[in-house]
Structure 1
């Protein structure tokens, strides 16, 4: 069973979450996990001014996703930062390129899931995931979130991401906050949960 984690990360927060998702998915026997990043659309000079070039060196070794290779996926977990309550444009552009898969019904009955990040606690994490779900539903995917059996999303002793819709992290206004252990635990839980359900469906 093949599970892809397809992500876009500008400063590394989503990449760290993607790594945790992969760790969780690999706990499920018989699941092959592949990490892919979506193509960058911003010129390097713009990324340089945004201070993102150095951060992206940490995951430049991850292969760029090709739409066609995702046709054989049994499950896809998407990770994208929030921009104004929606997924970042780089991810939206990639999704718009999947019309060929849609026309063939390639993802119908396959499992889809989403995780995200935002600068602030109320920066649109839930709306980003929910709006992302619309695309997955158009593809006919079976949507899996982060159930309350991950008790970490019930915590009130710290400011933390994660909701029933999916794992999430808070990056800070300048990207200064890294994913907390609770948020990474949520990502690992989601990865394992998605892989377990996808394995049952595929089996």
Structure 2
């Protein structure tokens, strides 16, 4: 059983959540986690001016996802940073190239799930995941979030991402805050949860 984790991460926050989600997938018997990046749409010059060069280098070993890989997976976890309450442009462009899969119904019945990040505590994490779900529903996917059986959602001791819609992290205004232990645990739980659902659907 293959669970594909497809993400975009400019500064590395979503990359960390994606890695943790993959660990969650691998904790399920006979589940394989495959991590892929979506293509970059910004030039190297722009990325350098945005201070993203080093983070991009750290992810350079992750292969670029192809549309075909989506149809070959049993479940897909998507990761995107928040851009004004929506998915980032890189992810939007990649999804806009999946028209052939939609025509063929290639993703119908597969589990789809989303993880995200934002700069601020109320920076649109929930709206980003919920609006992302619209695209997955058009593809006929079965939506999986992050249920309250993940006890970290009830945490009151610190500021933390994660909601019933999916795991998330808060990067801070300058991007210096990386996923906390609780946020990483949420992503790992979500990865296992998606794999378990996919496993039930294909057996």
With structure 2 as the length reference, what TM-score do the two structures score? Answer: 0.99
1:100-126, Cα deviation, whole Å (9 max, x unpaired) = 111100000000000000000000000
The aligned residue for residue 200 of structure 1 is 200
- Output one character per residue of 1:117-137: Cα deviation in whole Å (capped at 9) or x when no partner: 000000000000000000000
SS in 1 for 2:35: strand
SS at match of 1:57: helix
In 1: Cα distance, 2:171 partner to 2:193 partner: 24
2:46 counterpart of 1:22 = no
Partner of 1:169: 169
Counterpart mapping for 1:182-193 below 5 A: 182-193=182-193
TM-superposed deviation, 1:16: 0.3
Q: Which residue of 2 aligns with 1:130?
A: 130
Runs of at least 4 residues off by over 3 Å = none
Task: Work out the CA distance in 1 between the residues paired with 2:149 and 2:135.
Answer: 26
How far apart are 1:69 and its partner, in Å?
A: 1.9
For 1:79-94, list aligned pairs within 5 A: 79-94=79-94
What are the residue-to-residue correspondences of 1:92-171 with 2, within 5 Å?
92-171=92-171
SS where residue 172 of structure 1 aligns?
coil
Q: For residues 125-182 of structure 1, give each alpha carbon's deviation from its aligned partner in whole angstroms, at most 9, with x where no partner exists.
A: 0000000000000000000000000010111110000000000000011110010000
Q: Distance in 2 between matches of 1:166 and 1:197?
A: 15
Distance, in Å, in 2 between the alignment partners of 1:11 and 1:128 is 18
C-alpha displacement of 1:68: 1.2
Q: List gaps (5 residues or longer) in structure 2.
A: none
Give the drift of 1:84. 0.2
The Cα of 1:58 is off from its aligned counterpart by: 1.0
Q: Which moved more, 1:68-77 or 1:182-191?
A: 68-77
Structure 1: which 5+ residue stretches go unaligned? Answer: none
Q: Hey, what's the Cα distance between the residues in 2 that align with 1:138 and 1:187?
A: 24
Aligned length: 203
TM-score for both structures, normalised by structure 1:
0.99
Structure 1 residue aligned with 2:73: 73
Q: Per the alignment, in what secondary structure is the counterpart of residue 109 of structure 1? A: coil
Residue in 2 that maps onto 1:35:
35
CA RMSD of aligned residues (A): 0.5
